[in-house]
Amino acid sequence: MKAEFINPFLESAVMVLEQVVQIKPQTGPVGLKELRGQSGFIWIQIQLIGQVNGEIVFGLSEDSALKIVSAMMGGFEISVLDEMGKSAISELSNMISGNASTRLSNQGVHVDITPPAFLQGYQIQLLEARKAITVPVIIDGIGQMDIQVLLAS
């Protein structure tokens, strides 16, 4: 898997998260991780279609999602991940992916993205079990969002 396909997502995540939560996140080491469901976690899945096919799955704890949504709501504390919260965190993933697809296009790689699919807890098992290139994005005081890249080409 080529770095030029992964880096636009990392760069976009850092930029968008910094704009949304007002904290510059740091990226952790790249690793290989199997997508597994677990209680207390959410995943946002976005399909990539075009010259690069596959999917990007954003994974984070519900606690981290609540803190991000609270920051997106101007600091208003959110204590339950309701439909508004799910929509907000899905839109954040959409913003990151849209920005990344623009960066890929600027490199001459055409990619379309699908609307985000919100998966919670063990719903991730609905995805085909496979390992993904995973990069943690650490947001000080909020938590971690894993960007999991599964590319077919």
Q: What is the DSSP letter of 103?
A: H
Q: Give me the chain's average pLDDT, please.
A: 88
Element (H, E) at 134: strand 131-139
Query: Out of 1.10.10.10, 3.40.1550.10, 3.40.720.10, 3.40.50.2300, which CATH number does the structure's domain 3-151 have?
Result: 3.40.1550.10
Q: What is the dihedral of CA 53, 40, 138, 10, to 10 degrees?
A: 10
**In the prediction, which pLDDT does 76 show?**
83
- Determine contact, residues 28/136, Cβ cutoff 8 Å: yes
**In the prediction, which pLDDT does 87 show?**
94
Residue 117 has pLDDT above 90, yes or no: yes
pLDDT digits (tens, 9 = 90+) for 39-88: 788 999 999 999 989 899 999 999 999 999 999 888 888 888 999 999 99
pLDDT digits (tens, 9 = 90+) for 40-53: 889 999 999 999 89
Domain boundaries, the chain: 3-151
Residue 114 has pLDDT above 80, yes or no: yes
Residue 122 has pLDDT above 70, yes or no: no
Q: What is the pTM of this model?
A: 0.89
**In the prediction, which pLDDT does 125 show?**
62
**In the prediction, which pLDDT does 40 show?**
85
pLDDT digits (tens, 9 = 90+) for 92-113: 999 999 999 999 999 999 999 9
Question: What DSSP assignment string belongs to the chain?
Answer: --HHHHHHHHHHHHHHHHHHHSS--EE---EEEE----TTEEEEEEEEEESS-EEEEEEEEHHHHHHHHHHHTTT----S--HHHHHHHHHHHHHHHHHHHHHHHHTT--EEEPPPEEEEGGGGGGSPP-EEEEEEEEETTTEEEEEEEEE--
